[in-house]
Amino acid sequence: MFTDVTCNPEIMKNATDAYFSLLQGFITALDGTTQENKMRFIQNFKWTDTLQGNTPSAQQDAVFELVSMAFNVALWYTKFASRLAGKENVTEAEAKDVHRSLKVAAGIFKTLKEVHIPRLITPAEKGRDLEPRAMDTYIIQCQAEAQEVTIARAIELKHNATLIAALAFETANFYQKADHTLNTLEPECSGKWRKYLELKQHFYMAYAYCYNGQTLLASDKCGEAIRSLQEAEKCYSRAEALCKEYRQTKGPGSTAKPSEQLFFLKLGGLIKNTLEKCQRENGFIYFHKVPAEAPDLELKASYGLAEPIAFELPPLSEQCTPEVYATFDLTKGAKNDKAKPKEAEVKPVKEPDLKPQKDTGCVIS
């Protein structure tokens, strides 16, 4: 299903539930004891990692297969969201699907990190997908990108400027937190990812200062409004510069072009027009002094924050019974050596061309 362009969340859930219900037969104790399932360590599994090219990780452990497959299911949800968001005219129902898919992905990553990855006998190596820094970054970025959908919706429906500023500020903080989570990873594998997170942080800080300026103007605080919008201009210019740096940075993953998408371009015009309006009003009506320091954004969003949707494994397959379990005689099979990660390259799965009709700036996949 991963490479099927017609696959939707319902089909994916049915396929993954069917697989995970059987795979648990190799992990869960089926003989009524608390002992380890005798089949957990009989098969060697190999998976490549997002940041490490085609050199695989390998573990002789069914739990490694469970977390690796579930990790890829989470990535599929981010790809599905990206593809849907890239359509020419996204409907309200499709926007909800994008929002939900990113929260589902965040929930899978979160459950893997907290529940299943700690069960591995061999901890994930540095820079691999399953290590804590990478997992935390995926969780936070999925939440941040889900909130981007909320912000776009709030702007479209002309919601209160204070709410939009608060959501943008919280989203910028998510991107900053994700960036800081990667700061101890080797730059050659995380540099490009970090540039993307940094440009998104500055972009949403620009949004926060812009809408904060609108709120201040509505409260007759014109001088503070001008200063807030000047800070928005500064953040926006930094985001533009980071877009160029991001495109020039080599590293794993595809390259989005957020500075060319309408959502990015519109903000530049909005900041410019709002600032000019504030300056006109100040020259005619308020005559307020413009503060030297930018206002503190002590904004807390009460609504619209994206929480991960909890992920649960399906029930054990009905085929996995104590009777079936008893028929497995491991003494008769060929004995595998303990898993040793091999340097041989694994060919990547051929994906269909899922380029969106327009660039969404969504690059988690």
Cβ contact 208:175 at 8 Å: no
Using one digit for the tens of pLDDT, what is the confidence trace for 78-98?
999 999 988 888 899 999 999
pLDDT of amino acid 90: 87
Is the per-residue pLDDT at 273 higher than 80?
A: yes
Cβ contact 149:360 at 8 Å: no
Q: Which of 150-159, 205-214, 323-332 has the lowest mean pLDDT?
A: 323-332
Using one digit for the tens of pLDDT, what is the confidence trace for 8-18?
999 999 999 99
Is the per-residue pLDDT at 329 higher than 90?
A: no
The CA–CA distances, whole Å, from 360 to 97, 250, 257 equal 15, 21, 8
DSSP state of 113: I
Q: Identify the CA nearest to 46 among candidates 338, 350, 346.
A: 346
First vs last C-alpha separation in the chain:
16
pLDDT of amino acid 350: 66
Question: Burial code of 166-183, b = ≥16 C-beta within 10 A, e = fewer?
Answer: bbbbbbbbbbbbbbebbe
Query: Which range, 78-92, 244-258, 290-304, 341-355, has the best average confidence (pLDDT)?
Result: 78-92
Q: How much is the pTM?
A: 0.88
Domain annotation for the chain: domains and CATH numbers: 1-158+305-364 (1.25.40.280), 161-297 (1.25.40.280)
Task: Please provide the size of the chain in residues.
Answer: 365
Per-residue pLDDT band at 335 (split at 50, 70, 90): low
Helix (H) / strand (E) containing 45: strand 45-47
In DSSP terms, which residues pair with 47 in a beta bridge?
57
